[in-house]
Chain A
Amino acid sequence: MSSQSKPFRIAALLLRFALGIIFLYAAWTKLSQPWELFAMAIDSYGLLPLRWVEFVARTLPWFEAVIGVLLIAGIFLRTAAVATSLLLAVFFSLMVRAYAKGMQINCGCFGAGEVISWKTLLRDGSMLAAALALASMSFFGRRKKSAAGY
């Protein structure tokens, strides 16, 4: 993104750091608690069989941590930004579905004890918008670089 204007680069940097810190925090809240708590949150969505619930509960926090590190470090940025957008799109759709169905369940976003509400939807929706903006910026920056002959 080095060929971009300064405000563009600052915006991209802020988005990277904000999302990176949020993902690291989300990973830490899950990894610092027994995995069963996150598994119960996943299970309450009623979508996966138990063995998949266990698999996701044990692996997803580590995946979130890796994404957080990649975003902050700026390594494999396009891949990390796309992965962040996809992950948040999945989280957001599942939360919207649960909310629309009136399910009073723990969202599983940042550890245990946070019931899905319009506030959690607003927060995750904003994060998804930020991730999509970052992904577009990373691809837009790449096209600019190619056009400039880098």
Chain B
Amino acid sequence: MNMKLCAVAIAALLPAVAAVPEIDPGKAMGNPSAPVTVQVFSDYECPSCKLFHDTTLPTLMHDYVTSGKVYLVYRDFPLPMHKYSRQAAGYACAAAHLGLYQPVADALFKNQASWSNSGKVWETVASVLSENQQKKVQTMSVSPDVLGEIQRDEAAAHRENINSTPTLIVSRGAKKYPVAGGMNYVLLQKLIDELAK
């Protein structure tokens, strides 16, 4: 009987697992069993991603992630047109392994205009880390683990036919919807509310 229940539970969870593959817990926020998952495919050097990070994301976090309605997953999608975004993604991913994703991502977006011109990505990242953390992040940012994670995120973006940033994949179970371009928060709220029902 228990085995049967187990099999039913696994079968019920399969679509959800298939819909959101390979999550790095350091780059995810909120309740993993929240009804709706929002994956954010972003590039640290893209101005629209900065706008999304600075305006829409805090509201989304406040309204849905902290209340447990949305599980937010960050995905790196460094675009080839941006010279330093892959390097920035490496540092952010490495920081995520130490539980420091948010301060590093915040610093990268806050100072985007500066480091995307000067190329001083590391200086920006280092400014929010202690000396010990800096050593770890610098080593890990070029490790096969971190590079593999970024490649996995990119592969996920290609599977979803994503060709611009920021793009959100809003999903519940097997239902997945891409949201790209200018995002009206009121409409995004309505979409999440409808999926969460």
A interface residues with partner B (beta carbon < 8 Å): 33-34, 36-37, 39-41, 43-44, 46, 50, 53, 104-106, 112-113, 115
Contacts and interface: CB of A to CB of B under 8 A. Distances in A.
A39 B185 CA distance: 12
Interface of B: 48, 160-164, 167, 177-184, 186-188, 190-191, 194-195
A34 to B, nearest CB: 6
Given A43-B182, A115-B180, A34 B162 contact: no
Q: Which of A50, A53, A115 counts the most chain B CB atoms within 10 A?
A: A115
A34 B180 contact: no
A15 to B, nearest CB: 30
A40 B170 CA distance: 13
A41 B180 CA distance: 8
Contact of A33 (B177, B181, B187, B190): B177
A46 B182 contact: yes
Given A34-B195, A112-B180, A113-B178, A40 B164 contact: no
B187 A113 contact: no
- The interface residues of chain B, by DSSP majority, are classed as mixed
B179 A37 contact: yes
Contacts of A106: 180-181
Given A37-B179, A112-B178, A112-B179, A43 B191 contact: no
B97 to A, nearest CB: 31
Given A40-B182, A113-B178, 8 more contacts: A36-B191, A40-B183, A40-B184, A40-B188, A50-B187, A106-B181, A113-B160, A115-B164
Q: Closest 3 interchain pairs by CB?
A: A44-B182, A36-B191, A105-B181
B159 to A, nearest CB: 12
Contacts of B181: 40-41, 44, 104-106, 115
12 contacts: A34-B191, A34-B195, A39-B187, A40-B181, A40-B182, A40-B187, A41-B181, A43-B184, A50-B184, A50-B187, A112-B179, A115-B181
Contacts of B190: 36
A104 B178 CA distance: 15
B15 to A, nearest CB: 17
A54 to B, nearest CB: 8
Contacts of A33: 177
